[in-house]
Structure 1
């Protein structure tokens, strides 16, 4: 299906650039299932970008001590995560034979190579420097990933807010090398326990804690659904681009963003 170039006098098309968006679905086979796979994957890439946008907004507002504004941004981020989970619905019924019709056309392409996904992970606090090296061959992409890696994450900004509020967050959690993986600390679990135990005193921070868990829950659900979808399509086969497929995704599905917020639940 061909779509015309942007026509003068159509403000919707001019604003949304729908003429550009609708021209980006270039399938490589005659498979009837390939358009679903391609379009859903593109939708997910856009939603990853939206998560990144809201994570940066929330982080920066927290640094300005604008917690109410940050909560609005994080509620939008949570809705984007819900949409991400819902995106799988178009793919979860695909059969192995349908996927096999176009899988070879992917070549060495893999979701593992999505740099906007990596930006999202870094911004939310899951920093693995080696993951930026996957993109070293793309100079501009690699440079931007290193920039995101070197900036504080959303969770770093959250802990800095708690520290400024006088909660027992150690100094080493608020001033550190942001490029390094986040070290979980018992003192931070203690700080969150105080928030939950004294909700009346720390109600806005309690709301922050819960929206962060909402976000982490949906991202965990997204990863788990990704794993189940791959197992349905590939079983134990090697993934595209030589990844270990379901085995790698199973390890990834065990990760939790904002780890002390999960740990504190055992103490409440």
Structure 2
């Protein structure tokens, strides 16, 4: 029978449990010193910290998005749709986080942003390599968008790889073709760097799926996962443009774009056109 511990024994045990000097701690595992030390405001203005953290956390979420999207594309290519669905659902939830992040940035008023804008020089979210990779992975290919990364060969290589690879939708259409659905050949073996061209034949293939959901339930679910993803991405774009207009109006962006006018054009981009059009034609 073990002896009853004394108060001194209990104190020593508690001290031992709280001693992390010999093992990896929470901060060690998460590299918190590096992360929390990465906010280095250039202006004397209090609000610059918000601006920095908003964009840094968005980049972290985008890193996870790309991690999940690349794995989802590989899963679709291998006909492992259950795995892909889990990853795509996670990407949609990440997009929701990014949408709500604009609510925090929207607390910055025009005078507050004007106080830090001169310190930003030409830096702009337009130059985000990870965001550009996401656009390319989702099929919005544009060769001109490689140029902002030409000054960094490592980033250019990363974006170029996404530019030259089949998009998520390309892989989805290749899957439909493997299942015997009438996807035209020029949509499953093409120059992946070219913008996607909407096709009536592709819509007919998706319509077969949506008109017989029992036979093609996994492909039907894939179509709905893609719809969820684009729905969330559209909300992100909308909140982006409204937040920018709220803070800077119609001034040009720091990266040289038209600012709100450029962002509004992006609202018209449709990533998976046939999946949206079939809703009218069902």
What interval of TM-score do these two structures reach, taking the shorter chain for normalisation? Answer: over 0.9
Helix, strand or coil at the partner of 2:149: coil
1:255 counterpart = 2:273:
no
Aligned residues: 263
Helix, strand or coil at the partner of 2:255: helix
1:191 counterpart = 2:197:
no
1:34 counterpart = 2:53:
no
Alpha-carbon deviation of 1:8? Answer: 5.9
Aligned to 1:66: 80
Q: Which deviations, in whole Å up to 9, do the C-alpha atoms of 1:48-77 show, x marking residues without a partner?
A: 111111111010011111111111111111
Aligned to 1:45: 59
Q: Normalising by structure 1, what TM-score? A: 0.94
Aligned to 1:212: 226
**Which of structures 1 and 2 has the bigger CA Rg?**
2
Q: Over aligned residues, Cα RMSD in angstroms?
A: 1.5
Aligned partner of 2:126 among 112, 137, 160: 112
Aligned partner of 2:192 among 157, 178, 195: 178
> In structure 1, how many angstroms separate the alpha carbons of the residues matched to 2:134 and 2:164?
14
> In structure 1, how many angstroms separate the alpha carbons of the residues matched to 2:243 and 2:164?
33
> In structure 2, how many angstroms separate the alpha carbons of the residues matched to 1:263 and 1:232?
32
Alpha-carbon deviation of 1:217? Answer: 0.8
1:164 counterpart = 2:178:
yes
> In structure 2, how many angstroms separate the alpha carbons of the residues matched to 1:102 and 1:84?
23
Aligned partner of 1:79 among 77, 88, 93: 93
Deviation beyond 2 Å, 4+ runs, structure 1: 7-11
1:227 counterpart = 2:238:
no
Q: Which deviations, in whole Å up to 9, do the C-alpha atoms of 1:220-257 show, x marking residues without a partner?
A: 11111110011111111111122111000000122122
> In structure 1, how many angstroms separate the alpha carbons of the residues matched to 2:255 and 2:190?
35
1:127 counterpart = 2:105:
no
> In structure 2, how many angstroms separate the alpha carbons of the residues matched to 1:47 and 1:262?
26
